[in-house]
Structure 1
Amino acid sequence: MALCYVLLLNLLLTLAPTAIAQSFSNNGQFFTKGLAISDAPAPDSPQHAGSDIVIAVDLSGDGKISQDAFTSNSTSPTHYISLNIYLTSSTTNFTVSNGSAFLSQEPGSTVKHLNWPIPNCVPSGSYNLTYYETALINNQIYIALQEFFSITPLPITMQNANPSSDNSQCNAVSNTVQSQPQQDSAPAINPYADPNSPLDSGKTPGAPGVPTITISSPGLPSVWSIETSGAPTATVTVTAATTATLVVVSSKTLTETLPGQTNLITTT
């Protein structure tokens, strides 16, 4: 017996979603912890000092978010408040883009582009193109709309055979180095993989499984025992005349043998 549920009056589903990896790649796109989706650069791609790093960010969630949501004063239930991008490592923190310009540029386009010139003084090594995003995200399980601050590192490799000794360009965009990793308040589940979010397409890799439990007996018993697997999330369809409440009371199973008996008793 994996889980035991108690049926009460009135339909109420009290189940907690299972957290999954908050950022992931899918079909050439890199999904941040928040709403932004990076089309370029690709994770772990090599970049060259003295050249441009080509950045393309889809703000629409592949068409799930309207362009009205790209501004901080939007009335959409889900919208961006800010999106800043930095080039970071354990010893450096360079501003690539901050402020509202990136979100508002290229009106009419859901994908925003930036060709950022990498200073010649940036040494070779492992870096992150780090997205700092603040957004208001609508989710059906929240009592009210919640504001989230997400920090998502996209790993890249910097190549520079002859770094310049002139640090003026680097100093112009340099910031105080923050601790690694930094704390954020990102959603527990990526918005595009959350079954409680209207942004979930149901096809995002890594989304938790959703077993379906159907109750169709005209005479509902007081206790049902149901075997489930995967995430502890279920859809209950009540087709009897009496509605019911599905509540998780425990997920811990105890197995014991009573004195004088040989049969195992399993209690959840």
Structure 2
Amino acid sequence: MGNFTIVNGQVYTPGLAIIDAPQPNTPLGGENLQVAIDVSGNGKLPWPPSTQSADSPTLFHNITLFLTSQTLSHNFTISNGTEPANNGTGYVGPVLDLEPSSTVKHVNWVWPKCLVGDGTSSDKPARGAYNISMHQSFRWNGTNYYTVFDLPISVTNSISESAERVDCASLENKLLSIADVEKSSDKLPGQPWVQAGASTSLTKTSAAAGVLKDKKKTMVRLATVGMAFSVFLHAAL
């Protein structure tokens, strides 16, 4: 979704989270999808959450992650904010609860079966251009927000068969069009952690799935989606 800001290799989202890895437009594969997320605003947000009052003006409520592709018509759950009932569920537990003592949350999501391939032209049709879609619910300066940010990647590197991989159908959610998401979009007054005068590099998303050709060329893509709309957007498993 549009342009975004990278500062010293960190991707600043329209919210409190900062993505340390992967970098945008990275070809991925291997055993797992690995996402590293800084939830401290590089030390500006008190951590752990137990040190914050429930009425603090700035705090996280939730982070959910999905792997989406408009061109391939897929929307897979990576983490929907709930704890998996068993190891075979195929999705990751609540992001903010991972590694409780660390301000960087490492998401390790086992690729599902339909993404298995060896990086050749005979790969399964589900492989290709995707977005890691990050949904954040948070309070900033006393106002609650729900934002959606898409980090473009490609599932093109080799992914081997494994007994740990679940059927893609068990992770599939309804995929709304970008236009439908845009109907409920809004903008934050600014990016919480990018300071005035910071050295930034403007990075435009590729023509990967989930990217509109005629998007506004803003430094940071800031989309706010209502909480009720998020329930419709991604069905809980």
Q: Scaled by the length of structure 2, what TM-score is found? A: 0.64
| Partner residue, 1:175 | 173
Backbone CA RMSD of aligned residues: 3.0
* Cα 1:116/1:77, change in 2 over 3 Å: same
SS in 1 for 2:168: helix
| Partner residue, 1:192 | 193
Identity of aligned residues (%): 34
Distance in 2 (alpha carbons) for counterparts of 1:58 and 1:131: 13
Check whether the contact 1:22–1:33 (CA below 8 A) recurs between aligned residues: no
Larger proportion of helix: 2
Q: Which moved more, 1:99-108 or 1:82-91?
A: 99-108
| Aligned counterpart in structure 2 of residue 94 of structure 1, from 58, 76, 98 | 76
| Partner residue, 1:106 | 99
The correspondence of residues 119-130 of structure 1 with structure 2, limited to 5 A, is: 119-122=112-115, 123-130=126-133
| Runs of 4+ residues deviating >4 angstroms | 68-73, 160-164
| Partner residue, 1:75 | 55
Structure exhibiting the larger radius of gyration computed from Cα positions = 1
| Partner residue, 1:39 | 20
Check whether the contact 1:69–1:75 (CA below 8 A) recurs between aligned residues: no
The correspondence of residues 28-67 of structure 1 with structure 2, limited to 5 A, is: 28-48=9-29, 51-67=31-47
Deviation of the 1:69 alpha carbon: 4.4
Deviation per residue, 1:18-53 (Å, 9 max, x gap) = xxx8731121111111110011111111112x6211
Check whether the contact 2:66–2:77 (CA below 8 A) recurs between aligned residues: yes
Check whether the contact 2:57–2:143 (CA below 8 A) recurs between aligned residues: no
SS in 1 for 2:25: coil
Q: Is there any run of 5+ residues in structure 2 with no aligned partner, and where?
A: 83-93, 116-125, 202-237
Q: Scaled by the length of structure 1, what TM-score is found? A: 0.57
Deviation of the 1:203 alpha carbon: 2.3
The alignment covers a number of residue pairs equal to 172
Check whether the contact 1:81–1:135 (CA below 8 A) recurs between aligned residues: yes
Distance in 2 (alpha carbons) for counterparts of 1:120 and 1:55: 19
SS in 2 for 1:23: strand
